[in-house]
Structure 1
């Protein structure tokens, strides 16, 4: 299993499990993207893989220093790397065919990166990419001799920069650690789900992880205490409205973490028990989080068979529709509060309810963040993060860069909400 560092983030670096999946980390990967699952996280080319965060709300408390340290809950023991016939890949080392004929060449590494973009990259609206222009880029680099691996990586960086997409970028081999075993169980070649089942366990228990730092670094045994770190993002109360709505359940959802759906369901049931028949869902200043959780939250308000969101991309695997598969918890109209900081998963929820005529949007235009990135590993242990898709609302509106315009600037009278949603249904039927 590969572990990719997240730089310049508000989370501990060195973990791709719940830390990354439950926080926003723009320098690593755009977490407005829907999580993508892979079968194998230990690769041999030509397999391509998205490094996906494991599910759950478990913190392993790992921090990064030099080269890898743990939080106060964990202890580590550095052990020497065992002798290995595997080639130690360093960027500065020359890897020409003459010195390493059985290894991947520098030219082929560049071509691999080129091919990934050629097959999967989705222009996010900069209009700087075209098949013809990208083919010329290949001709420019493939016909030249690349003497060192570091030169190959520099070429890849420049190629990706030419796309004009801030999310598509290169990851060097030194930015990834490899988990070799968990509690003595060899996990090399295992899927993310298999590793997750071994890593997770009761709160306050310990797990021992064997980690190899980079391609050429030392191996450490790290004992880490499991801790639950997710906090409830839901605040709720019963309100009496002055505009004829009556008793309303107010739900403020601060982020989409692992507890969001469960706690929202609890809050909605409690509010219904004390008389709430209508709901206000406050998504203001909610920057997103786990997109899959956002999708599950949206389903709580939709009828079975209604569309939550569409994903589109050049690769067929990123072209699909996500459909509600159960009856809604509430059938009465919903007011969704939004502002300029309503982003990513929040926009998916807001547009799902809006476009299916289940809610009116009140407030300000939303942020407009709806891209999907995948991380592909190259044969030498480096990788490329590539924008591969985007989210489109049930009404086929592109979220990214546009945002969603609200129906009202302030909460309207109840009869006005009813009239607006009735017109929405008529337009859908027509």
Structure 2
């Protein structure tokens, strides 16, 4: 997997070209450094930024030397949104090998003779260096961060397993007092990447463990995927993958077996949900692996009658996450609904935990014009840096209501704040989660990933969101109500819930008010 450093917030993927609609004057400085390791029979070389010369780990064990290179970190300047992206997720690389650029230091500390712990020691140094140069709190929660590396390295030295060693890294990060700064395993990171870039190589099956039986069952199939074309349905039981029985097999393990390189195949045995328990209902299917696109967008068209008796169409757009494809998928969805005669919109951000900050800002551009401020960032030096559009052009000016609740967090709150503070949308629902921090995501040498809080943000009107959230303009009850509205939905399963959703009813009422006032922004 390639490093995903240019990605923001809670979820990652290679950084896509920056829209010219973002302003160029805003810029942030970027710290960069690369860690490299050359193995020798006796000496281990770990190149890390600015390691303190006093660092000597006391130990009776023979201490290997670590050649460390310190330098004044190269700074590069980004512009507009690129500035936010760079500040929130720098590409950590340092060119220590050039004598003209770096000054070498030699420090000593005990290197574990347990191979797997030794590898985690390198991960520890990588983690420590990234935190030292990018963490939003330069006091590191009022502690000596260099001393913390020394303490953690000494604690890690006698350990005999990688899991125990990783626990020490997590413990070191916990002392920062920031729950969003954390390390995740390579497997967790792989799943995280798929959620962020919206693409995977596989067969298009969503599976889960049935809690009563412990068996693996199909939750759904991606429309048009190999699994869907093969006639696999929700509720079917997954019995075998490539001849291996799945009794007792964990969901994540089974998922990894289903995924693979495009062009290869996987053979599965499926028991139909209609005949569970009957051997005759088990069928063997050979599925080709393909690129599977996971869209975070689902849509519906709601037809309802206004107070003056007119029939009108409202476009309902549910955005479940801010992946790489979120803005493009939303733009396509809106253009399609416009062609169907939709004249108002409900954007549902409820229970959307966030994702890529850039995706959130790209979605905001779909709805906004001009040179509006989308968000304000605060770096570790306390500098306030607004991120503005430049000569933006919304694809629609029709009335808009945004649904939010306590599960709307991070990039959801950035988007909601941008649309609300710029008077483009009315917020309906409940107060949002209140996550006003931005994380970088960096893949480490062992395939694990480090999330680091690198900036705070304020809404365009300079409202602090962190641990406060955004209050909606209009609250709605959470009860599901019956309604006689006509609805045409792309997903049949959504009909009853959408018709009875009290927040959707309130949103429609607010849209009627906007239309009656002629306030299409």
Structure 2 counterpart of 1:117: 131
Q: Given the superposition, is the C-alpha separation of residues 384 and 401 from structure 1 closer, same or farther in structure 2, using an over 3 Å criterion? A: same
Alignment of 1:9-408 (within 5 A): 31=10, 47-48=33-34, 86-87=39-40, 98-100=63-65, 105-106=108-109, 116-123=130-137, 130=139, 133-135=142-144, 138-139=146-147, 142=150, 146=154, 149=157, 156-170=169-183, 223-225=261-263, 226-231=290-295, 233-243=297-307, 247-255=312-320, 256-314=322-380, 319=385, 321-323=387-389, 325-375=391-441, 384-408=450-474
How many Å separate the matches in 1 of 2:60 and 2:166? 12
Answer whether contact 2:306 2:312 (CA < 8 A) is retained: no
Answer whether contact 1:243 1:414 (CA < 8 A) is retained: no
Q: Given the superposition, is the C-alpha separation of residues 246 and 359 from structure 1 closer, same or farther in structure 2, using an over 3 Å criterion? A: farther
Runs (5+) with no aligned partner, structure 1: 4-15, 22-28, 39-44, 50-83, 124-128, 178-195, 205-221, 426-430
Answer whether contact 1:344 1:368 (CA < 8 A) is retained: yes
Farther off after superposition, 246-255 or 354-363: 246-255
How many Å separate the matches in 1 of 2:383 and 2:295? 33
Farther off after superposition, 339-348 or 398-407: 339-348
Q: Secondary structure at the match of 1:134?
A: coil
* Structure 1 residue 357 displacement after superposition: 0.4
* Structure 1 residue 252 displacement after superposition: 2.1
Answer whether contact 1:234 1:264 (CA < 8 A) is retained: no
How many Å separate the matches in 2 of 1:317 and 1:383? 27
Q: Secondary structure at the match of 2:39?
A: coil
* Structure 1 residue 349 displacement after superposition: 1.9
How many Å separate the matches in 2 of 1:174 and 1:417? 48
Q: Secondary structure at the match of 1:228?
A: strand
Q: Secondary structure at the match of 1:300?
A: helix
**Normalising by the residue count of structure 1, what TM-score does the alignment of the two structures yield?**
0.55
How many Å separate the matches in 1 of 2:158 and 2:448? 11
How many Å separate the matches in 1 of 2:38 and 2:379? 40
Higher RCO (CA-CA < 8 Å; seq separation 6+): 1
* Structure 1 residue 387 displacement after superposition: 1.4
Q: Given the superposition, is the C-alpha separation of residues 95 and 401 from structure 1 closer, same or farther in structure 2, using an over 3 Å criterion? A: farther
**Normalising by the residue count of structure 2, what TM-score does the alignment of the two structures yield?**
0.47
Q: Given the superposition, is the C-alpha separation of residues 298 and 87 from structure 1 closer, same or farther in structure 2, using an over 3 Å criterion? A: farther
How many Å separate the matches in 1 of 2:431 and 2:293? 32
Structure 2 counterpart of 1:190: none
How many Å separate the matches in 1 of 2:300 and 2:188? 41
* Structure 1 residue 418 displacement after superposition: 7.5
Q: CA RMSD in A?
A: 5.1
Deviations 1:375-428 (A, max 9, x none): 457899987532111332111123332221100125345585489998xx9xxx
Q: Secondary structure at the match of 1:347?
A: helix
* Structure 1 residue 350 displacement after superposition: 1.6
Deviations 1:302-326 (A, max 9, x none): 0121122223221699955142652
Answer whether contact 2:319 2:347 (CA < 8 A) is retained: no
How many Å separate the matches in 1 of 2:511 and 2:151? 68
How many Å separate the matches in 2 of 1:170 and 1:275? 48
Farther off after superposition, 256-265 or 316-325: 316-325
How many Å separate the matches in 2 of 1:404 and 1:147? 43
* Structure 1 residue 228 displacement after superposition: 1.9
* Structure 1 residue 101 displacement after superposition: 5.8
How many Å separate the matches in 2 of 1:228 and 1:374? 26
Answer whether contact 1:172 1:383 (CA < 8 A) is retained: yes
Runs (5+) with no aligned partner, structure 2: 17-30, 45-58, 69-106, 111-120, 160-164, 191-196, 202-223, 226-259, 264-289, 477-505
Structure 1 counterpart of 2:279: none
How many Å separate the matches in 2 of 1:414 and 1:312? 35
How many Å separate the matches in 2 of 1:144 and 1:231? 42
